[in-house]
Amino acid sequence: MQYPKIIYHFDYAGLNLSVAQAGKMKAIQGIRGFPDLMILEPVGKFYGLFIELKPENTKLYKKDDTPITPHIEEQRNCLLQLRLKGYCVAFGIGFEQSEKIIDDYLHDKLPLF
């Protein structure tokens, strides 16, 4: 709502689907772990922003810095592939952090990495 001219898309993977619907969705997905939110607006050196959205207080990594679940590892690997292709990527933990990532990206205030 804050950026009405920005083109964005939410992935539907997090929906509660029937077994048949979930099977169809899985069959048409091109890659496992694809991010939830895509903002298709070039800013600075990036072609766009991809965010994997997580609930507040979600833990991503164990004490040894390995992903906490195989699914988180798939999501991290997908984000890394997108980063190598020139996109800004992030895990957004909770609403406030996700909102800050979006605001910082669109105002070209994200740290370069």
Give one DSSP letter per residue of 61-81, joined into a string. B-TTSSBSSHHHHHHHHHHHH
C-alpha separations of 34 from 44, 63, 73, 86 in Å? 23, 25, 11, 16
Angle at 9 between CA 8 and CA 13, to 5 degrees: 155
The pLDDT tens digits of the residues spanning 60-112 come to 999 999 999 999 999 999 999 999 999 999 999 999 999 999 999 999 887 65
CA separation for the pair 63, 82 (Å, rounded)? 26
Strand-pairing partners, residue 93, are 54
- Tokens coding 48: 């766009």
The share of the chain scoring above pLDDT 70, in percent, equals 94
Task: Give the domain 8-106 fold.
Answer: Trna Endonuclease; Chain: A, domain 1 (3.40.1350)
Q: Is the predicted pLDDT of residue 113 greater than 70, yes or no? A: no
